[in-house]
Amino acid sequence: MSKAIAIAAALLMIISCSPSKQDPRLVQRIQNIENGLEEFNPGPPDPAKTPLKMKRAERMAVHKIPGVSIAVIDGNKIQWAKSYGVLSAASGAPVTTESIFQAASTTKMLVAAIVLHFAGKGLLDLDRDINTYLKSWKVPENKLTKEKKVTLRLIMTHQSGLPMTNFPYDDGPPPSLVQVLKGEPPARNKPAVVEFTPGSKWQYSNIGYVVIQLLLEDVTGRSLAGLMQDVIFKPIKMKSSTLVYPLEAGLRAREALPHDVDGKPGEPALHATAQAQGGLMTTPSDLALFTIELMKAYRGESGLILTQDMARTMLRPELDLDPALLGMPIREGLGVMLSAEGAPFYFGHPGDNYPGATSWVIGYPELGTGIVIMTNGAKGTILAMEIMPAFVNEYVAAKGR
């Protein structure tokens, strides 16, 4: 939230664009976004200062990002998708709109939708003690959990009291989900033990979503990968998305590989078993289909994944977050971040995976517009925040003119 920069900057090619035959107005809108980036500076804008407009190609080079793929939604449809640069600085293979990127923490938004899908069917209660659902393992009881129990709502709003931790593990076979949650070898992460009274404060917790993964698998008897396929991917035709990693042979050639802050390619560090916190592999166009479906459900125009009631539950503000978190005022919904009060209403989620893969999704349900930006560079979140003002000016502010 690189590499043969010479190659990436020179290639900076549009590999594909939809629709193939564009009207002049659409071409102009795309160019306005590509050439209208604003340098990202956390904090409120200076009204006395006119932001300098910059080109996407220049900012990719500055941030050492080899590949970017974008999908833009308007009128509840993907209006255009475009890609730039290379999958890997080492190979020089071009990014296309079919290239598969790591969604990183954006994965949480889809996992939350699965939870709300089953809540809508009466299978899950968002405010019930999660230990009543868990079978393979339980959240350890301590004096803090005696005061208040961990619930799905608290996990999805990062108020569960569970720790912040990443998920390293020893060489050899990967740990099971239970070993991850216990923090037992070969897992080397902090265990899922409550550190503060649930509901008392906000603390981002990846391991909370691993708890949700185990809960869903215990309750349904299905893998999270299988659930996501049946509940989300199939109904809305997300055909280039998977939680299975390494990618199957047919998808491997389309994979965008991560790059560090210096633009050097690295090996993906996706966890083999813990997936709910950031394991989704997908394309911007597929994530745009999910965004469209959630926006339509919110307005009561579709129910392929969620009922209108559950979509509105997901996108209802639960608490205000510290503006310093992303350099802007935001609120927390269930598995999503939301616009601050008074701003045009939007939802979304950033994602950032080590050693260098990023994802940003934003949807404006009342406007039927949105954007997905995915990169294979460690500074991709900064680039996304620089692209966002150009998108907002062209697709959000323009609707009020």
Instruction: Taking residues 255-260, report their average pLDDT.
Output: 98
How confident is residue 225, by pLDDT bands cut at 50, 70 and 90? very high
pLDDT per residue as tens digits for the range 335-382: 999 999 988 999 999 999 999 999 999 999 999 999 999 999 999 999
What's the confidence (pLDDT) of residue 328? 81
Q: Looking at the DSSP assignment, which residues form a beta bridge with residue 17?
A: 82
What's the confidence (pLDDT) of residue 116? 98
How confident is residue 41, by pLDDT bands cut at 50, 70 and 90? confident
What's the confidence (pLDDT) of residue 63? 98
Tell me whether residue 177 is exposed, middle or buried, using C-beta atoms within 10 angstroms of its C-beta: 0 to 12, 13 to 18, 19 or more: buried
What's the confidence (pLDDT) of residue 8? 31
**pLDDT above 80 for 19:** no
Residue/partner pairs of 169-176 with CB below 8 Å, 24 or more apart: 169/271, 174/271, 174/272, 174/273, 175/273, 176/273
Instruction: Taking residues 6-21, report their average pLDDT.
Output: 36
**pLDDT above 90 for 330:** yes
The average confidence (pLDDT) of the chain is 93
pTM: 0.93
Tokens 């999270």, located at residue: 224
**pLDDT > 90 fraction of the chain, expressed in percent and rounded:** 87
Domain map (residue ranges) of the chain: 1-10+27-40+50-64+379-401, 101-348
More confident of the two residues 35 and 42 = 35
Q: Indicate the CATH number of 101-348 among 3.40.50.1220, 3.20.20.70, 3.60.21.10, 3.40.710.10.
A: 3.40.710.10
Cβ density class 317-345: b for 16+ within 10 Å, e for less: bbeebeeebeebbbbbbbbbbbbeeeeeb
pLDDT per residue as tens digits for the range 146-202: 999 999 999 999 999 999 999 999 999 999 999 999 999 999 999 999 999 999 999
**pLDDT above 50 for 1:** no
